[in-house]
Structure 1
Amino acid sequence: MRRPVALRLHAALATMAVAAATGAVLSLPEAASAATAGATGYATQNGGTTGGAGGQTVRATTGTAIHAALCGRASSSTPITIEVEGTIDHGNTSKVSGESCSTADGVIELKQISNVTIVGVGSGAVFDQVGIHIRESSNIIIQNVTVRNVKKSGSPTSNGGDAIGMESNVRNVWVDHVSLEASGGESEGFDGLFDMKDNTQYVTLSYSTLRNSGRGGLIGSSESDLSNGYVTFHHNLYENIDSRAPLLRGGIAHMYNNHYVSLNESGINSRAGARAKVDNNYFEDSKDVLGTFYTDAAGYWQVSGNVFDNVTWSARSGDNNPAGPDPQSNTTVGIPYSYRLDAASCVPAVVSQTAGANKGLRVSDGNCSPQTPTPTPSASTSQPSTPTPDPTTSTPAPTQPGGTNLSIGAGADGSSKADGTSYGNVRDGDMSTYWSPAGSTGSVSVKWGSATTVSKINIREAAGATGRIGSWRVVNADTGAVLTSGSGAGVITFPSTSLRKITFEITSSNGTPRVAEFETYAG
């Protein structure tokens, strides 16, 4: 059953597309942004986790540009969302100095800062051999990125070998829809994929993949580091991991609706008084998936609804104390937040459709049905919102708006266009012509020579292409402010705004969109 860790990803990694790294930091990228929904789990506690909500949105295509965005803020707590596209590597990740940051070469350093979102957009964001280090920081969101092959020995090294590592008084971190990957274990120079140390609390890891590593991650660096905890792991895939899925030293953790495949030596290792609530997970083709291992300092667990599919259990002896073959609860754990459990039997299917970067940020509705979230609008940025419906979120109205279509005779441009289509087709009044992006997402804009007041648009899909538009944002292209966001084509309203250019940005779709008309109205 045991499979070697080291060789599984080399072919796949070699074929991944690498975007050009320009180092630019721009306001409001024309590339498609990731639609975001709100934090879950323990990241909702202690005041919640909102990242850069309410602040400026910038784009970065290099690690240096990410650092420059952090250092360019008015203060270390000024909210900011950094939309990342392309490959971040040692060659383009340098230290940047400033009063609002403390950065370093060869690592994305989030040190002594707060209120930051880093989100992958467009064709994707890959942190290649460059780790993300969070230290003495709070209210951080990392979403829709891939971090791969970070090493602590050999060359090059980054972040102590952790893909994402948190330490020293860290609070409220939400890591969502990320792909964390290695190509081996400690002997090959790799360490943990997701580590928390030295007083790190209120963290959620959701809808993510952790693959091909000797060590999945830990909470607490030693038996005396017991100041960490309140961590949620849900709808994640752990695949081909030797151990630490995760390792818990003290504190409380909640694991629900995760899919564990090929845990080669041990899985959830609760020790040194840790308490784990383990609900409706699916364990498959693995060994010793739950227990206290490699220590005589016992930990505890509360189990319910889990599926153990081809799981083997070793005999209990000395410092090896697996919970199986018939795991029973030996503690109770109270959970302070609300959550909905998918049935364990459908977890492999749900997780395969939702977990990892570049999955359209799909989530489960708690009924074994993956959904594309509808983001909540913000006054100035495309920030994560709460998972509950917001009454201010625009939804397409069923009726045709009255008044003059201001798009007729206006100009048009966009982020990309498919062969045979044109931006101008969206404002020509002809439903038989249309614009399509070059891929499944993209943006199209209507613009005027002078300021024009708009409070309503009508997005009309071409015949035969209805229902393809998923989530979207409407952006004041003059300022970068997000006017509203939602999903589906139709009539969209927002507060009356005077502008020279308005952008309709499609952030997810059910096929190649075809926008026949982008109508604009004053009221």
Structure 2
Amino acid sequence: MRRPVALRLNAALATLAVAAATGVVLSMPEAAAAASGATGYATQNGGTTGGAGGQTVRATTGTAIHQALCGRASSSTPITIEVEGTINHGNTSKVSGDSCSTAEDKIELKQISNVTIVGVGGGAVFDQLGIHIRESSNIIIQNVTVRNVKKSGSPTSNGGDAIGMESGVRNVWVDHTTLEASGGESEGYDGLFDMKNDTQYVTLSYSVLRNSGRGGLIGSSESDRSNGYVTFHHNKYENIDSRTPLLRGGISHIYNNHYVDLHESGINSRAGARAKVDNNYFQDSKDVLGTFYTDEAGYWQVSGNIFDNVTWSEREGDNNPAGPDPRSNTSVSIPYSYNLDAADCVPGVVSQTAGAGKGLKVSDGSCTPQNPDPTDPGPTDPGPTDPDPDPTDPGPTDPPTGTNLSIGAGSDGSSKAAGTSYGNVRDGDMGTYWSPTGSTGSVSVKWGSATTVSKINIREAAGSEGNIGSWRVVNHDTGSVLASGSGAGVIGFARTSLEKITFEITGSSGTPRVAEFETYAG
């Protein structure tokens, strides 16, 4: 880097030196981390709920985090891991198990789903230890600091990325984090937030990225164009050389971010990438938007941005800045609703909300930071940005009306106890039921053609009421999680066209007995 880096850590983050130990089970509530719900592209593809509805454990070491992942009934059993203290190489070791695939030199979230990692108490600091997400889905990381992760020197971790995602990753929400380094590539650091090899439906929100040569990228090379659908909002990029972010292919939505002291370039849209860039505040920086270091162009749609003391270089060869008067050269349609803060108040709003240890404060578009709503039932409910809320619509827990689509459909599942049948859940008879062979399992309703469903009703057999604990509703066609929670009853979700829907029981307090798995269009 061209300038000395003054690493600024939140003094409120305490460090705890604790021997590796198994996490302590606290409770089984909805994930506290998801109080306000995911935003941006993480709300698409079935949504991002993390460990909602599953067990909650406390971890003070990296080994304990891995043990919590490996101690689940399956790799998809929901879990929230509350982290406090300093997580480093000295207290992080590999743990083996059927529900995990971990490593000793990083926090490994590999081939798993439905996990929340959230900093609590005095704070969580991942010191020189990166977080690696690979072949995984439905992950939330919130209220943590990741610092000084190196790819060369000692110790090394995660290829030098603070948070890195690759290989078939879906639905990740990273929120209220602080990601920081102490220099650039020559000092041994790489990216702060990288996405590669088919990573999609990701949101980075209310985070601080600073003191690094590279902010982050989407796509590892000009040919890696399988990534995209990524939202960046209300983040602060500060004292960074370039890649804020670098975009290769795909679609990104970049709004209400504060960029300060970018030395070489900022948003680098290339290799066919398309970015919607709204109401950001660019300050004391150089070449904050354009296509740089390649002749394979990218594109942008711009509106409402402020350029405060931004300098622009001349267009020449593979250097094509968008300024000094940035104009749109594409159009990008955004499928979700969102509230824009005015660009002139972005520095103030971001300074009060972004980063770990800020109390999870957010903005509702009024330029005034808001505390998270403790009464919000969770991320599966429509948020304040619902594009067309209708107060007269029935809620997701109201008794369903209309035709039970399960009658006459087919069914199958993961296992069935003696004397029970998959077909019993769609026969309209409360006297018959299906049970798995153990305490967990799944049952599905299926049709011969695409059928629209937005609500199901799980009815337990007499004498077994309350036995069903945590569950997930899955679009079997795509593997997307439509809803998660605990207890039987009516479950609502976004209208979805599918041929097979699965109710997966991931926890129970007794033998689950599902008498009826009813499905409804609305």
Please give the TM-score of this superposition, normalised by the length of structure 2.
Answer: 0.71
The letter for the 1-side match of 2:104 is D
The letter for the 2-side match of 1:255 is I
- Structure 2 matches for 1:373-522, cutoff 5 A? 373-376=372-375, 386=381, 388=383
Partner of 1:54: 53
Question: Which of the pair has the greater relative contact order for Cα pairs under 8 Å at 6+ separation?
Answer: 1
Partner of 2:363: 364
Aligned partners of 2:381 and 2:88: how far apart in 1? 32
Partner of 2:234: 235
Q: Does the 8 A contact of 2:41 with 2:201 survive in 1?
A: yes
> What SS is found at the alignment partner of 2:64?
helix
Partner of 1:456: none
Cα offset for 1:21?
A: 2.2
State the number of aligned residues.
386
Cα offset for 1:17?
A: 3.0
Partner of 1:295: 294
Query: In the TM superposition, what whole-angstrom CA distance separates every residue of 1:13-52 from its partner, at most 9, and x where no partner exists?
Result: 89953123243411228xx976731000000000000000
Cα offset for 1:248?
A: 0.2
Aligned partners of 1:280 and 1:98: how far apart in 2? 46
The letter for the 2-side match of 1:84 is V
Partner of 2:25: 27
Query: In the TM superposition, what whole-angstrom CA distance separates every residue of 1:449-499 from its partner, at most 9, and x where no partner exists?
Result: xxxxxxxxxxxxxxxxxxxxxxxxxxxxxxx99xxxxxxxxxxxxxxxxxx
Equivalent position to 2:15, from 18, 24, 27: 18
Residue 80 of structure 2 corresponds to residue 81 of structure 1: yes
Residue 184 of structure 2 corresponds to residue 185 of structure 1: yes
Partner of 1:107: 106
RMSD: 2.3
Cα offset for 1:376?
A: 4.8
Aligned partners of 1:20 and 1:375: how far apart in 2? 32
Q: Does the 8 A contact of 1:3 with 1:240 survive in 2?
A: no
> What SS is found at the alignment partner of 1:120?
strand
Aligned partners of 2:238 and 2:382: how far apart in 1? 28
> What SS is found at the alignment partner of 2:65?
helix
Cα offset for 1:179?
A: 0.2
The letter for the 2-side match of 1:388 is G
- Pick closer, same or farther for the CA change 1:337–1:33 going to 2, 3 Å: closer
The letter for the 2-side match of 1:8 is A
Q: Does the 8 A contact of 1:37 with 1:387 survive in 2?
A: no
Partner of 1:171: 170
Cα offset for 1:384?
A: 5.3
Query: In the TM superposition, what whole-angstrom CA distance separates every residue of 1:102-150 from its partner, at most 9, and x where no partner exists?
Result: 0000200000000000000000000000000000000000000000000
Partner of 1:154: 153
Partner of 2:252: 253
The letter for the 2-side match of 1:148 is R
Partner of 1:473: none
- Pick closer, same or farther for the CA change 1:78–1:356 going to 2, 3 Å: same
Partner of 1:98: 97
Partner of 1:337: 336
Q: Does the 8 A contact of 1:35 with 1:373 survive in 2?
A: no
Q: Which runs of 5+ in 1 are unaligned?
A: 394-479, 482-523
Aligned partners of 2:117 and 2:9: how far apart in 1? 24
Residue 214 of structure 2 corresponds to residue 198 of structure 1: no
Partner of 1:139: 138
> What SS is found at the alignment partner of 2:41?
helix
> What SS is found at the alignment partner of 2:374?
coil
The letter for the 1-side match of 2:383 is T
- Pick closer, same or farther for the CA change 1:13–1:176 going to 2, 3 Å: closer
The letter for the 2-side match of 1:362 is K
The letter for the 2-side match of 1:40 is T
The letter for the 2-side match of 1:36 is A
- Pick closer, same or farther for the CA change 1:106–1:13 going to 2, 3 Å: farther
Please give the TM-score of this superposition, normalised by the length of structure 1.
Answer: 0.71
Partner of 2:463: none
Q: Does the 8 A contact of 1:235 with 1:258 survive in 2?
A: yes
- Structure 2 matches for 1:309-324, cutoff 5 A? 309-324=308-323
- Pick closer, same or farther for the CA change 1:49–1:349 going to 2, 3 Å: same
- Structure 2 matches for 1:278-289, cutoff 5 A? 278-289=277-288
Partner of 1:520: none
Aligned partners of 1:350 and 1:261: how far apart in 2? 14
Cα offset for 1:346?
A: 0.1
- Pick closer, same or farther for the CA change 1:208–1:14 going to 2, 3 Å: closer
Residue 278 of structure 2 corresponds to residue 275 of structure 1: no
- Pick closer, same or farther for the CA change 1:123–1:74 going to 2, 3 Å: same
> What SS is found at the alignment partner of 1:327?
coil
Aligned partners of 2:328 and 2:264: how far apart in 1? 22
The letter for the 2-side match of 1:18 is T
The letter for the 2-side match of 1:7 is V
- Pick closer, same or farther for the CA change 1:136–1:297 going to 2, 3 Å: same
Aligned partners of 2:256 and 2:46: how far apart in 1? 25
Q: Does the 8 A contact of 1:259 with 1:347 survive in 2?
A: yes
The letter for the 1-side match of 2:173 is W
Aligned partners of 1:53 and 1:12: how far apart in 2? 30
- Pick closer, same or farther for the CA change 1:38–1:276 going to 2, 3 Å: same
The letter for the 2-side match of 1:290 is L
Cα offset for 1:374?
A: 1.1
Q: Does the 8 A contact of 1:376 with 1:386 survive in 2?
A: no
Cα offset for 1:373?
A: 1.0
Query: In the TM superposition, what whole-angstrom CA distance separates every residue of 1:240-269 from its partner, at most 9, and x where no partner exists?
Result: 010000000000000000000001100000
Residue 326 of structure 2 corresponds to residue 327 of structure 1: yes
Cα offset for 1:392?
A: 11
Q: Does the 8 A contact of 2:109 with 2:132 survive in 1?
A: yes
- Pick closer, same or farther for the CA change 1:12–1:203 going to 2, 3 Å: closer
- Pick closer, same or farther for the CA change 1:13–1:143 going to 2, 3 Å: closer
> What SS is found at the alignment partner of 1:28?
strand
